[in-house]
Amino acid sequence: MSEMHEPNEPAAIAVLTTPEAWRDYLGRYDELYLRNRASDQEIFDLLDEDEVEVLDEGGRLERWLGEESAREETLAAAEERLGVRFPPSLRGFLLTSDGWMRVSGWVDLVYPCGRITWMRDTGAGASLIRLYSEEFDNAEYVDLFRRSIEIAGGEDVWLLDPTDLGPDGEWTAYVFTPKYGDLRKFTSFSTLFHHGYEAME
């Protein structure tokens, strides 16, 4: 019913942990996203005529598609609510943009601080745990769903496992596709986010 993959992650990709690094990276992400989606009505409506012309001519368009940065106290409140301290790359991201709507792939939204929650506490998460519990060979998935924090959703779901901590303080990250039971593993939130950037390239 399920399949787990571990994508090759380029060793040269540094984990983004500071708001400064994330701001620079997300600016490039914006530009690539707009260039790839320029023909979509949603993006066309977002831009003015001059910006559309810049894209059509292959020029560089600097436009922030993210949200306002989270305040430290908002981030701390989310961590206190969940009883964890977020890994450095997620903290740096949220302090740059408290959520992100235009994501490559099948995720509609990287959640703002107030929406990040334990997967087991969401309606969809509880349903998946019930469904996967019906088959013995899915125990590894059920355990992961119960202990993971859900940080993004859409057709796919992004998860972070606070029990699987790397030497850099990063949590193992996953993208889960319920439709196919497909689970992909990454070393951090940062490398998971970058997977979408590489797909757009």
Q: Could you state, in order of their start, the residue ranges of all structural domains in the chain?
A: 3-200
C-beta separation of 77 from 116 below 8 A: no
Rounded to 5°, angle at Cα 89 from 16 and 154: 110
Smallest CA-to-CA distance from 61 within 31, 103, 92 is with: 31
- pTM to 2 decimals? 0.84
pLDDT digit string (tens) for the chain, length 201 residues: 555 555 545 444 689 999 999 999 998 888 888 777 655 555 556 666 666 666 666 655 566 778 999 999 999 999 999 999 999 999 999 999 999 987 877 898 999 999 999 999 999 999 999 999 998 788 999 999 999 999 999 999 999 999 999 999 999 999 999 999 999 999 999 999 998 888 887
Domain spanning 3-200: which CATH class is it, in words?
alpha beta
